Amino acid sequence: MQLLSGNEAIAQGAWEAGARIGVGYPGTPSTETMESFGAKENVYAEWCANEKVAVEVAVGASAAGARVLATMKHVGVNVAADPLYTAAYTGVNGGLVVLAADDPGMHSSQNEQDTRFHAQGAHIPVVEPSDSAEAREYTMQAFEASERFDIPFFVRSTVRVSHAKSPVEVGERVERDLIPYEKDPSKWVMMPAYAKPRRTSLDARIAQVAQWAETSPLNRLELNDTSIGVICAGASYQYVRDALPNASILKLGITWPIATGLIAKLANHVDALYVVEEGSDYLSMQVKATSVTVSEPPAHALPKEGELTPGIIRSAFGLALPEELPTQQDVPGRPPALCAGCPHRLVFKELSRAKCIVTGDIGCYTLGALPPLAGMDSTLDMGASISMAHGFELALAGTEHHPVVAVIGDSTFGHSGFTSLLSTAYNKGAGTICILDNRTTGMTGHQGNPFNGITLQNRPSRELDLEGMVRSLGISDVQVVNPNNMKDVRAAIKGATSRTEELSVIIFRSPCVLLKKVFERQAPYTITSDCRACGVCVTLGCPAIARIEETGEACIDPDQCVGCGQCQAYCGFGAIVRMEGALR
């Protein structure tokens, strides 16, 4: 018995099921799954440039006869949708399982989409565990079913299942030989002549999965009180058990296709039937489509957004809430901010100072949008910064406007920013692109990427030439700048944005301050009596700097200060100095 998170349990299930290859792109809340899988024996695992590439690698490995696990967060499924929708047509050879980790409540995401809608659209079955033990078991079952029904399977997790730990009875790995690959264009070449019969085959295969769902132990009918019946899945099941202990429940472990016979059986057993789910109406729509009447909770409707709790469910059903200890009210607020010493800080400070229109991207640097930096105008999806900047330039052509600047991280540039820059360069676009190269994928916990040459399993690899790639597109105005030097940052932005007819790229390169063995903390800075309480240093938004309420003067927390010296460059009175004799 081991205490595992849902992510770790999915990796364990894949390993026990004999999966020999794992591919993915890091994205919270899915990231630890591939890291855990890659640490196991007798497997190969890699981070791919993006989720689409990961699924394409996975389909190739499956066709060659290996069991393969692909992992991504929910928005990554959008990127992978192109191969996924056709992979259902081709089917599999070795079992192919795709983990899609959804994020109701948007703890670290730009939306809270429900992967099950993709599953229905792509005709890919979904299994949905509600704890770590089920995460392991369902993953193993998904591999078996993938090969049995000749189709990829989704394992859908949500943030609570992904990160919460619960006991798991682990087993031994079953080594599996490659299933021999046989040349068969009618299965693997999806041109219309072959795709049309595979669509007919797909419908037949899904019908078989639907029949299996009616008897599979992954779906469980718990018949209790006849007054209330609840249909639920995943983490919502745990909340329902807590909030409505006497209710009859249909716990769906397979949420597409759904078991219509079990739904009808529960509906006939109870007086009123409810669907409880988080941040989506997917399951409710599926149940209503079977002509079963779904009731609204008697007190009020469940929220359509965010995560549920047992208390929210009890309140919706008009039940009393348990007593709670009072919450401490005097806890200081801690707004999200870039880390002390973050090499992105001065870039956003100077972009804001230059009154640029800044199209941003996905990553920890999105925090540059928040006050006091307020240095970003938009964030849409991975790679959108460069494409949106091109759109701004097209729309504002011939008008007087503030400089348009795109900001993107190194990993995100490799994910999908490069194709955006390729398109902008091809179409003779203008503007300034800032690539924030902090030598890692910072937002998900320091995974490798093509530009730092660090692979998932630390294999020898190539470190791609970022400047060379940019220049290969015909862009000659390329600079590499130290983002910790205020004067250099200011000069680079001023110069690039003044060349309005050109496409300029500035690569701001300095390691993330949280990179162990790469970034070295220096002796901290302190404030002297020369401080005039002007407040300029505070506008950097560094968590190590604060103002003394009584005097307005600045102060620096030496425990947080990493000694980067960014604040010193902005002090017009020489009041910020390095602490004499301080050591790290």
Q: What is the pLDDT of residue 370?
A: 94
For residue 326, what pLDDT is reported?
Answer: 85
Q: What are the structural domain ranges in the chain?
A: 2-214, 220-317, 343-509, 525-578
- Sign of the dihedral through C-alpha 210, 215, 217, 220: positive
Residue type, 149: F
As its CATH architecture, domain 525-578 has 2-Layer Sandwich (3.30)
Which amino acid, 417?
A: G
Which residues are annotated as part of the binding site for [4Fe-4S] cluster? Answer: 531, 534, 537, 542, 561, 564, 567, 571
Instruction: Please report the pLDDT score of residue 581 as a whole number.
Output: 72
Contact, 29 vs 159, CB < 8 A? Answer: yes
What confidence score (pLDDT) does residue 335 get?
Answer: 80
CA torsion sign for 278, 279, 284, 289 is negative
Residues 451-478, mean pLDDT to the nearest whole number: 94
Residue 278, Cβ density class (10 Å: 0-12 exposed, 13-18 middle, ≥19 buried): buried
- Residue 9 in contact with residue 132, Cβ under 8 Å? yes
Q: Extract long-range pairs of 315-318: CB within 8 Å, 24+ residues apart.
A: 317/228, 317/243, 317/244
pLDDT in tens, 264-322: 999 999 999 999 999 999 999 999 999 999 999 999 999 999 999 999 999 999 999 98
φ, ψ dihedrals at 144, nearest 5°? -60, -45
Tally of CB atoms within 10 A around 226: 12
Each residue's pLDDT tens digit, 486-517 = 999 999 999 999 999 999 999 999 999 998 87
Helix, coil or strand: residue 371: coil
pLDDT recorded at residue 584: 59
The answer to whether the CB of 13 falls within 8 A of the CB of 170 is no
Instruction: Tell me the pLDDT tens digit for each residue of 22-59.
Output: 999 999 999 999 999 999 999 999 999 999 999 999 99
- Which residue type does 3 have? L
**Is the pLDDT reported for residue 583 higher than 80?**
no
Q: Which of 250-259, 427-436, 519-528 has the lowest mean pLDDT?
A: 519-528
**pLDDT of 69 above 90:** yes
Judged by DSSP in three states, 479 sits in strand
Binding residues: 531, 534, 537, 542, 561, 564, 567, 571
> How far does the chain reach from its first CA to its final CA, in angstroms?
42
Q: Residue 564 burial (CB < 10 Å; 0-12/13-18/19+)?
A: buried
Quote the CA–CA distance of 349 and 407 in Å, as a whole number: 13
Architecture of domain 220-317: 3-Layer(aba) Sandwich (3.40)
Predicted TM-score (pTM) of this structure:
0.94
Give CA–CA dist 199/63, Å, rounded. Answer: 18
* Type of residue at 273: L
Q: Are 100 and 77 in contact, with CB atoms under 8 Å apart?
A: yes
CB-based contacts of 114: which residues, under 8 Å, 6+ apart? 74, 102, 279, 280, 282
The predicted structure's pLDDT at residue 395: 96
Q: Across all residues in the chain, what is the average pLDDT?
A: 95
> How far is the C-alpha of 188 from the C-alpha of 191, rounded, in Å?
9
Q: DSSP string of 84-126?
A: HHHHHHH--SS-EEEEEEE-TT-SSSS----HHHHHHHHT--E
CA neighbor of 90 nearest in space, from 202, 209, 230: 202
Rg (CA), the chain: 27
Say yes or no: do domains 220-317 and 343-509 share a fold. Answer: yes
Torsion of CA 567, 570, 573, 576, to 10 degrees: 10
**What pLDDT is stored for residue 282 in this prediction?**
97
Among candidate residues 568, 567, 504, the one with its CA nearest the CA of residue 539: 567
- Tell whether domain 343-509 is in CATH 2.60.40.10: no
**What is the rounded average pLDDT of the residues 350-367?**
96
Comparing 153-162, 194-203, 250-259, 458-467, which segment has the lowest mean pLDDT?
458-467
Q: Which of 147, 132, 7 is nearest to 73 (CA)?
A: 7
CATH of domain 2-214: 3.40.50.970
Check pLDDT > 90 for residue 540. Answer: yes
Query: Does 120 score more than 80 pLDDT?
Result: yes
Contact of 477 with 447, CB cutoff 8 Å: no
d(CA 306, CA 171): 35
DSSP 20: -
Has residue 347 got a pLDDT over 80? yes
